[in-house]
Amino acid sequence: MDGVALPEATDNSAPYEYSWEETEKFGVTRTITAVAYDNQGESGSASIEVKFFNGVEKAPMPTSRYSFTADVVNNKIYVIGGHDRHYNLVEEYDPATNGWSTKTSSKFPHAGHASCVINDKIYIFGGGTEKEVITDVEAYDPATDSWTKKTPIPLDSGAPVSMDACAVVNGKAYLMGGLSTVEPALVAEYDPVADSWRLTNSVKQEYGGEALSLNNLIYFIGGCEFRSAGQCDHPQDLLESYDPAADAWTKHNPMLIPHTHHCATLLDGKIYVMGGGDMAARAISNSTLADKHVEVYNPATDHWTARPGLPMLDGLINFGCDAVNGKIYIISPEHVYEYSPD
C-alpha cells in the first residue's frame, strides 16, 4: 500500500489473495500494488489506484443512542429520540460549524419511530419505549424550538405504529412498513392541515425498511420479512415504489444485497443505501452482524451500483444519514462521518 508492504501479505498458494481492514486516510487516493514471483525469483507487478470511503470523521453525537430519527431543516440535522432511554432527547447538528446543541425535549417518548419533514416542521409518529408502543404524534418547529401535539395514529386501525417508515408526497405523510396492533399493516396517510388520518387499501408488512419520496412516488427499500419484532432471519433486497394517487405498488430491480434497519437518503436524484443488519431493533447498536455495504440506485435507469463500504461496523443498525449541501452525513451512536459520494 503506497509502496509499503502490508503485514503478513504474502500468499504462497492459489488463488492468491489478501484482505485487511483499512482505517486511515479516508477519501485519499491510495495505490495498491501486487507483486508476483516465479520459482526462479523473477517478478512482475500491477498497481491500481483506489479511494477508501470518501469521507472524513466529524464531531460525534453528544449522547450515544440508536433507533432515533434524523431529519434536515434549513441545512441542519435534528436527531430525535432513541433507545438507551433517550426517548425525548433532541440534538441539533450544524454541518457548517461541525457543532452540536441540545434542543427542547419532545412531549412523548419515541424510539423505533418514524418521522417526516413537512413545511420545515418535523413530524414524529409513534414508536415507544422498552416497555410499550405508543401512538402519539407531535410536530417540532426548529424555528421556535417548540413542540405541538397532533392527532395520534388511530389505534387498532391497521396503521403502523413502530419500526415503520415515513415519506411525504403533495404535503401529506405516508406511514408504511412497520408493526401494527392489527394485521395486516396498512399504508396510512396523515394530512397535517386537517390533522387527520386516512387508511389506504395497500399493505406493506416488512418492518425496518426505509422510505423516500421522489417525483411523487415513495420508494420503499429493504426491511425484514414480517415475523416478529425480536428477530429477523431474512433481510430483504426489495425495492418497490408506491403511488399515493393510484394506491398501487410497482416492483423495481432489487438491491445488490439485503438490508434491514439500515439507512437511506436522496442526493442528486439518486438513492443511497447503507448499513443495516440481520437483527431487529432490540439488537444492540454495535452488533457484529451489521453490514458496511453502500449501494446507489438510479431511478432513471433502474440500476444499482456498489460503492466503497463504510469505515466501521459499530452503530450501523438503526442509525441515520442525511444529505446536506452535496454531502451525506452518517450519524451513528459513536461516529459521525461527512461522506462525499464522488
Answer yes or no: is pLDDT of 231 > 80: no
pLDDT at 285: 40
Place of cell 507487478: 45
Give rounded-to-5 percent helix, strand, coil for the chain: 0, 45, 55
| Average pLDDT value for residue range 76-86 | 96
Q: What angle do CA 211, 215, 216 make, to 5 degrees?
A: 70
ω into 95 cis (within 30 of 0): no
Q: Do 102 and 90 touch, CB atoms closer than 8 A?
A: yes
Q: Which residue has the higher pLDDT, 52 or 242?
A: 242
CB-count burial class (<10 Å; 0-12, 13-18, 19+) for 269: exposed
Q: Helix (H, G, I), strand (E, B), or coil: what is residue 307?
A: strand
Q: How confident is the model over 181-185, as a mean pLDDT?
A: 87
Give the separation between CA 272 and CA 208, rounded to whole angstroms.
Answer: 16
Class of domain 55-339: mainly beta
The residue ranges of every structural domain in the chain are 1-52, 55-339
What integer pLDDT is reported at residue 130 of this predicted model? 82
- Four-CA torsion 209, 239, 169, 269, nearest 10 degrees: 110
For the residues 229-239, what does the mean pLDDT come to? Answer: 78
Select the more confidently predicted residue: 48 or 235. Answer: 48
The pLDDT of residue 284 is 38
145 band by pLDDT with thresholds 50, 70 and 90? very high
Question: Under a CB-based contact definition with an 8 Å cutoff, are residues 175 and 114 in contact?
Answer: yes
pLDDT tens by residue, 250-278: 999 999 999 999 999 999 999 999 999 75
Q: For 88-137, what is each residue's pLDDT tens digit?
A: 999 999 999 999 999 999 999 999 999 999 999 999 999 988 888 899 99
- Nearest of 295, 291, 222 to residue 252 by alpha carbon: 222
pLDDT at 218 over 50: yes
d(CA 96, CA 330): 15
Cis upstream peptide for 109 (omega within 30°): no
162-173 pLDDT per residue, tens: 999 999 999 999
What's the length of the chain?
A: 342
Given this model, what pLDDT does residue 227 score?
A: 61
DSSP state of 243: E
pLDDT digits (tens, 9 = 90+) for 22-68: 767 777 889 999 999 999 999 999 999 987 788 889 999 999 999 99
Give me the percent of the chain exceeding a pLDDT of 90.
Answer: 77
Residue-level pLDDT at 283: 42
Q: How far apart are CA 318 and CA 181, in angstroms?
A: 22
Task: Write the pLDDT tens digit of every residue in 293-302.
Answer: 899 999 999 9
199 SS3 class? strand
Judged against a pLDDT cut of 90, whether residue 141 lies above it is answered with: yes
Q: Reduced to 3 states, what is the DSSP secondary structure of residue 256? A: coil
d(CA 342, CA 332): 22
Q: Average pLDDT, stretch 302-316?
A: 87
Mean pLDDT of the chain: 91
Over residues 213-238, the mean pLDDT reads 84
Confidence at residue 327, expressed as pLDDT on a 0 to 100 scale: 97
- Tell me the pTM: 0.88
pLDDT surpasses 70 at 287:
no
- What is the average pLDDT across 72-82? 98
Say how many CA atoms lie within 13 Å of 339 toward its Cβ: 25
